[in-house]
Amino acid sequence: MTNENTQEDIQEARNASPDGEFIRDTNYIEDRILPGITEPTEQEDGTFHWPQEAGRYRLAVARACPWAHRTVITRRLMGLEDTVSLALAGPTHDARSWTFDLDEGEVDPVLQIPRLQDAYFKRFPDYPRGITVPAIVEESTGRVVTNDYPSIVRDFITNWKDFQREGAPNLYPEEHAEEMEELNYYIFKAINNGVYRSGFAGSQEAYESAYDFLWEALDWVEDRLGKQRYMVGDHITETDIRLFVTLIRFDPVYYSHFKCSRHKLAEMPNICGYLQELFQIPGFGDTTDFTEIKQHYFMVHTEINPTKIVPVGPDMSWLMEEHDRDRFGGQPFAEGTTMPGPLPKGEEVKNPEDFQQPLFER
């Protein structure tokens, strides 16, 4: 099952539940790229550990996908752009795979493949699951290494330290680890996956149950952000990244397309300010392409939107307005850490909104 779902995936997920609830497949290739490894080494559980080398791997993503967006933000914040290259699939896909239709000749220029499935089949000719982004691919062999997106993000933060930029932030502080794990689990269940459970519900009962659970969680976030600047501690952490990728898609997509329409997040003052601050930080707003996000959801999910018409709005320029998050004290990153530098050439979003143009030129 893909992270971003085809009609076959949606129906399969509904069939797994007698009441029409959407149940996400969370089985992934759980291989890890870790320091101290000189060659791929099989573990007792059948997974492999792979060596860390600059230039060996390519991160395949789609800007439309929130799960992939987490890895793009983290890679940029940690300064791993020169270590792990970036392959950008287009915003739409079919039942077979994400495609590299944004590149010249519709072929990824490094991997020389038109579809991400080619990297999966190169390693697993009979791969039985969905072809998901994000995925890390070994450049020299064209083989997929892992698509376990939570581990990709966590490893970029904690296990690629020898390759991180000077001044990279600590996004997983040990003193907050236990609280982060609790919040990460709840945010995934109620919000990250909660919008999908609402949008892909197969019955009125399943939809209303998911909707209520989602909004209970969003109200909790609004209340929490009315008392502190970030979700955990005084600085941005992995938990904020996990939350941001769903919240930033809410007004353009989930509010209407997934029927999550109690309020727009622009109408919730604490979440609104929180999104404004994060969006204006390098790594967050400059990796967000609202056009591709809307194209994906409204064109791929034809069971929900059979006309494939993509909305023109909403106006998201409020993201660039001044916020008041500094009233809580704290700052995005701790003393001794720095903001990321300019985006690498070729990694700019292809469809920046007019209000995004001067984003990091202040």
Tokens coding 303: 């069971």
Q: Tokens 């469809």 identify what position? A: 351
The Cα 264–Cα 261 span in angstroms is 7
Q: Is the dihedral of CA 184, 189, 190, 193 positive or negative?
A: positive
Contact 22, 197 (CB under 8 A): yes
Residues 6+ apart with CB under 8 A from 303: 7, 10
Alpha helices, DSSP H only, in 201-289?
204-224, 238-249, 255-257, 269-279
Q: Which helix (H) or strand (E) holds 88?
A: strand 84-89
* Residue 59 φ/ψ, nearest 5 degrees: -90, 115
The Cα 41–Cα 43 span in angstroms is 6
Residues 6+ apart with CB under 8 A from 312: none
Q: Which residues are catalytic?
A: 65, 196
SS3 of residue 171 by DSSP: coil
Q: How many CB atoms lie within 10 A of CB 299?
A: 17
The Cα 227–Cα 329 span in angstroms is 11
The Cα 169–Cα 184 span in angstroms is 19
Tokens coding 201: 């519900």
H, E, C per residue of 103-117 = CHHHCCCCCCCCECH
Contact 28, 68 (CB under 8 A): no
* Residue 158 φ/ψ, nearest 5 degrees: -110, -25
